[in-house]
Structure 1
Amino acid sequence: MTLIHVLFDSNKLTGLIPQSIGHVTSLEVLRLDRNSLNGPVPSNINNLTRINELNLANNQLSGPIPDLIGMNLLNYVDLSNNTFDNIEAPAWFSTVESLIVLVIESGGLHGKIPQNMFRFPQIQQVLLKGNAFNGTLDLGKTGSDLQVVNFENNAITNYKSSPNYNATIVLIGNPVCTAQLENPIYCSPQQQMQKAYSTSLLHCTSTPCTLDQSVNPQSCNCAYPYEGLLVFRAPFFRDVSNSSRFQELERSLWTKLSLTPGSVHLSNILFNNDNYLEVHLKVFPSTEMYFNRSEIQKIGFYLSNQTYKPPAKFGPYYYIASPYSFPGSNGRGKSSMSTGVIAGIAVGCSILLIVLVIVGIYAFKQKKRAEEVAKQSKPFASWASMSKDSSGAPQLKGARWFSFDELKKSTNNFSEANEIGSGGYGKVYKGIISTGDVVAIKRAQQGSTQGGLEFKTEIELLSRVHHKNLVGLVGFCFEKGEQMLVYEYIPNGTLRENLMGRGGRQLDWLCRLKIALGSARGLAYLHELANPPIIHRDVKSANILLDETLHAKVSDFGLSKLVSDSRKGHISTQVKGTLGYLDPEYYMTQQLTEKSDVYSFGVIMLELITAKQPIEKGRYIVREVRTALSKKDEEHYGLTELIDPTIRAAMNPIGFKRFVELALQCLEESTVNRPTMNKIVKEIEIILQNEGLNTNSNSASSSTTDFGNTKGAHHPFNDQLQKETNSNAFQYSGSLFAPIVEPK
């Protein structure tokens, strides 16, 4: 982008003109007139060799008049009404032959008048009134375009005319006028100026038109033109009588605005007090008497947004449009009905409208009142109406319906301060419901919501799942286009976060065994005792939450799949889960079974041993463990370097070798060689029972029992639990929204 116009006239600018203006050599127009600028004009102003118009008039500039030698494209100069040094006419008066208009009024100039400037081929106006030029004004041989010479109020004592100049010359207020016995024309205040151009209508006979109509110069018929004022801020000429120049503007307008040739009328052309060129414009419709609305919008847009580009000599512009009255407005296209009839209809319609509004408001309030009553008595009454495929209200067991307003209030309008997690499904907020219980509210974002039937199926399923080692569903919201699930709040974050040591808590080996047992019991319940049985499909450490006493709770059933009693294998067209935990057989065959969850649980068991993520720095934990395994190592099974340092320091970890072997059984390539979750529960219980810990073994059905120490042995973990039961060191992680990776 190149800067070519600087139009800062009448902007109340103060201070100096910056020296850097001389470096903007791309400038074609520089207008700083009618401000309060002071100080000298930068000496490098003549670096602007491309400039066409220079206007510094009506400021408080001082010092020498700027030297404009070398500015050979300069058409218009106005340096009037400043406080420049009193000097004789500068040399550039005789050298800048591109000048069209020279204006320096009250500029402190004196001495002889240079004759050469009247010979310039393009010169049209020389306006030097209010100076102190003296001697004889000798025009010599003038240029053919010269129209006005004004030396009013100088000190000229004699005038020598030119044989080829008969246009306007003004010498009022000079001694040459007071010495004359007769008052010559150049001393007269009334001189005939050249008439400004106006589009000719001589070819049209005098057709009478109404007040708001005009004669179309193309058809000579009366029509309703679209009118406005074109204001050109820096034209490169001053001759308003030049017909060829304004006819070029007419052609440009009808061509670029897609109008009929000859349908443009220009009039009232003049330079206003701001030295802007004003042109009154009328454009006419092609055949009809009126423009339609789209045509007016198009023409108005082209002109008002300067999309239309006039011929280059006219420079930058703006457009002031006049209102356009379409047929039927302002008396156009008068109706045959009388004024009284129209007034009667208007009054009647107004009364009817008021009555309808009152009735509508009353009916709306009654409807809202009835809906509120119905909602309070039957919270699921509107379920079917909210979704075409919802097929009635859900059948819940132990979960309740929440209104949108209730959950909004409980989360302080879903504020960021209450946000405790986020994921692909949406966000999780911590809230306090009316009972005083703290809950985690899982709010679906736009694009993640299900159909009514799918959402109903999910909450019916979740409401039937009740187990100590599963995150419990408290309720749901299906209202105002929202889908939200309300879970019990689990304060101590995910197993993955705890293994990484976030919050400062370290899990010893016994604690990890208990977490493994609790997680296994939760999954075994889903596989064996849930009705219908459920395959989790996204078992991972980020989906195992730890409560106040670090008991494990399996979460996130968003990917769960119901298992048919008659069929244990399911073909899925889309493998779902998280990389690093995916059952390779499921990935290859797309056949989903409960053993897919078993494989994922085996990966978690290795995480409990190593505290490493399944895939870390390009290394897969399963492969690393299998490679390092050594049965010769009685203590650590060859895994010394891989074991989490937190538990490596412990002497002879409880059942370590048996735990590793169980994990590797879960990670068998073939599903038939993997144990069931129920079998895994029993194996971990045996590991703990061998150390004298009572696990109250009810396998998968255990939902209320806890561990007890039957030998009275002391374990550091028990002290840690007592100290940290009420700890808030871990915040809710939002792991209910674990991201889903779908391998290609």
Structure 2
Amino acid sequence: MFSIKCGGPEMISEGIVFEADNGTLGTAKYHVTTTQKWAVSNVGLFSGRQNREYMQNTLAQVRNTDSPKLYKSSRLSPGSLRYYGLGLENGPYTVKLFFAETSIPNRTSQSWRSLARRVFDVYIQGTRQLRDFDISKEAGGVERAIIKNFTANVTANHLEIHLFWAGKGTPDSNYGPSISAISVVPNFIPTVTGIPPDTPKEKNQTSLIVGITVSAVGLALIIILVIIYKKREREEEEEEKVLLGICPRPNTFSYSELKTATGDFNPSNKLGEGGFGPVYKGTLSDGRVVAVKQLSVASNQGNDQFVTEIATISAVQHRNLVKLYGCCIGGNRRLLVYEYLENKSLDQALFGQNDLYLDWPTRFNICLSTARGLAYLHEESRPRIVHRDVKASNILLDAELCPKISDFGLAKLYDDKKTHITTHLVALSVNIIHQCNAIILKWLFGTEYAMRGHLSEKVDVFGFGVVALEIISGRPNSYNTLENERIYLLEWTWTLHENYQLLSLLDPTLEEFDENEALRVIGVALLCTQSSPSIRPPMSRVVGMLGGDFEVNNVATKPSYLTDWDFKDITGSLKNEELQTSIASNQ
């Protein structure tokens, strides 16, 4: 048997000698009493308490007990407190735990500290006996004694009493386990010293001390994990405050949720990779199949600005725009969650190796519907949005081959310098005109930026014109395996136009087509790809011309980017030097 005065000097109460337990314990430390009857270990660190000796002394007068002095001091722990009985004879024991709440003021004081709650769990021999134990609640108030009795069975000559804070209650300076005294008495008449004859006492105690040390280290790791978890909770609370200030509030996903949905972003689920980052197929817990885009460039914008932009894009709804379900802003991660479209991108349908056949009605509908989506972005949505990256790979097809524009508005989520007329702009322009002569890119987009100071919606009009020609011809804008006069789609189209052979541009795999609609699409594409932005029609007029509501204006002027430069000589050193000089001057 043994009795301990937890957190205080030796004391006799009701004829029982309670041994002193008033030594200082550290953040992760154990202590074996000189009598070698028992030991104590502590794990944890008080973050908001100046006195870190893990003992509580008070002048409070504990009521409803004949031994109030027994409760004037107590042993505390910010996380885990264990007491061990050593060298016990195997058999049943009665364990008494003495508690009194002396750190929290009475509710009648009307102090804010009186609202605190101390909640912890109690384990005996590894079995939880008390869950969410609140001393003051069990005792009927603070400064009131309460004794808890348990029966424990000792089978390996030692007893373990474990008080554990599970993160509940009030995390102020008075949280964590607290206990005033312990008494352990056998329920039988001892016949031996408690150590089997064939087991050396020193060996048994050494093994137990090793076990205590391992347990202390393990619990220290648990406390560290709890601290990390609490820190992450605070970060999530800060992000929640940001979201509460956004109206309309966008739907958000946790990073772990998207990580699970995509199989930890498994390469087998990768759908592709665009200028803004890789895209993965995923399945949410509710069964929805989605496309998850990881933004590869970390913007300098804060969470509030990022979420505001996402809320704007989420509010833009049109049948020819990909629906954005929500976003993830966990830590420094930026992810977007879109609807998943079965037939992937238009460039894969037109130029990829697949069994998808696009007949003429489907192609014409793709042209018209894409124009409607861009017209909505330019003229009907609030705020107006310039896509800045219109190309076949950014047009996706659903199960019915209806086109939906993707990545609209993403340029707004990046730093302003990303859209400046520098090498970054040239790279962006390459996406629009693909692999055309770089001199054309410098001349065309450099001129527009110099005139306007920014890229207007007329850049999208030009990109649409190129896409329209790709749709009806079934070939990309640049195709190096063809003969010289057909390598560049724009140049070849103008050659056919000048020779009155425009229908030769159509994809030879088309079994039949509407001649009037085909000529209308080509005429609109030639207008859209004019070098002067002022000549290019707005997208609303493009929709009208494609639908037959407006007459398609005749185009008589060949764009200057085809006449002012030797389009075929893309390796000339003079032109390369001019390009490099122009780009450097704009940086």
TM-score calculated relative to the size of structure 1: 0.39
Max Rg structure: 1
Using CA pairs under 8 Å that are at least 6 residues apart, name the structure with larger relative contact order, 1 or 2: 2
Greater share of helix: 2
TM-score calculated relative to the size of structure 2: 0.49
